[in-house]
Amino acid sequence: MFLRSGKITDFKMLTHVADIRKVEFSDLDRTTLIAGKNGIGKSTMLSELVPFPSTSTSYNKDGGKELVYEHNGDTYTISSD
């Protein structure tokens, strides 16, 4: 299963640490590099990229996530708000 694209909006840990309100990504290859200084929220954001529902307390009122995965040629969209 490969993550192809996604959007994370109003994730509390990112808005609190770095005032990041929205993260969008698309056209990911099988290898992706995420770089940033310590404490900016890289690991926290990666924990949200798993195909499981989010905890509502992790997001601000209008926040949520939408992830698009590919597996065996089929595409699956997982959203949580």
| 35-50 confidence digits (pLDDT tens) | 888 877 788 778 888 8
Residue 71 CA to its chain's centroid (Å): 18
Distance of alpha carbon 70 from alpha carbon 20, whole angstroms: 27
The parts of the chain modelled with pLDDT lower than 50 are none
Query: For tokens 């056209």, what's the residue?
Result: 27
Average pLDDT, the chain: 84
- Note the pLDDT of residue 73: 92
